[in-house]
Amino acid sequence: MQAVDHVHDPATAAAFGLHTGQVCVMIHCGSRGLGHQVCTDHVRAMDRALHRYRISVPDRQLACTPVDSPAGRDYLGAMAAAANYGRANRQLLSEAARRAFADAAEAGLSLVYDISHNMAKIETHEIDGEPRRLCVHRKGATRALPPGDPELPPGLAAAGQPVLVPGTMGTVSYVMVGLPGNGAFHSACHGAGRVWSRHHALKTVRGERLRDDLEAHGIAVRPSSWRGLAEEAPEAYKDVDAVAVATEGAGLARPVARLVPLGVVKG
């Protein structure tokens, strides 16, 4: 649960339904490990098939096959299943949040945007002056369509696509919007990004201490486990303010609103 503490672009914020002082809920959750398992299984299968297509990669984690190959089609199908699970999961969490706000505050919640990350999409982009159908895989990123893009729904056509950039439990998050001229196939970051592995965070941070530190700053925390809380310590992530500045500087997306944390539920 967050509050909008600063609006960078009032017109775009209004199009998204955001204003200063507003309480928001940002849900950063997906397929609960299914997507990770799909990646692990299919990277292994594609690694075994590399020689068949005479593909050489610098790292086995980059293993790939043609999209229309049996391994490529299998991956896209499994990935779509994981993405559908993630969307359904967020729908259920959103409904639970709506019921909680209705019961506790007699307030309603309206959706700003829902988008998946770490996904491959078949899209058309201009390459060397010619439109080409591409498989764009956004790892650690989401789509960021600019104002006026024909693929935007009517309500967002003038404003552009919202880009959700979660920070951490103890730092701000951003709502940004796609910029024209984006040279990364209309992509932008989906969060602050880790600087510590989860293993390193567990060795460095105690969940109980982190809970006390956050609550000392007025941020209520409800974890399902101390381990899960420690893995997501604010110190384990990059400075999200610097990430937002870099994202705008790279011409990918620009800030619309900044949100500060009020309460956190870690499942």
Burial class (CB in 10 A: 0-12, 13-18, 19+), 253: buried
Q: Catalytic site residue 36?
A: no
HEC profile of 18-64? CCCCCEECCCCCCCCCHHHHHHHHHHHHHHHHHHHHCCCCCCHHHCC
CA 95 to chain centre: 20
d(CA 214, CA 232): 12
Burial 178-195 (b: 16+ CB within 10 A, else e): bbeebeebbbbbbbbebe
Strands (E), the chain: 2-7, 23-24, 119-127, 130-138, 141-143, 162-165, 173-178, 187-189, 220-223, 253-261, 263-266
Burial class (CB in 10 A: 0-12, 13-18, 19+), 159: buried
Q: For residues 226 and 206, is the Cβ–Cβ distance under 8 A?
A: yes
Q: For residues 217 and 169, is the Cβ–Cβ distance under 8 A?
A: no
d(CA 149, CA 151): 5
* Given 42, 117, 186, 190, the catalytic residue: 190
d(CA 255, CA 245): 8
Catalytic residues: 190
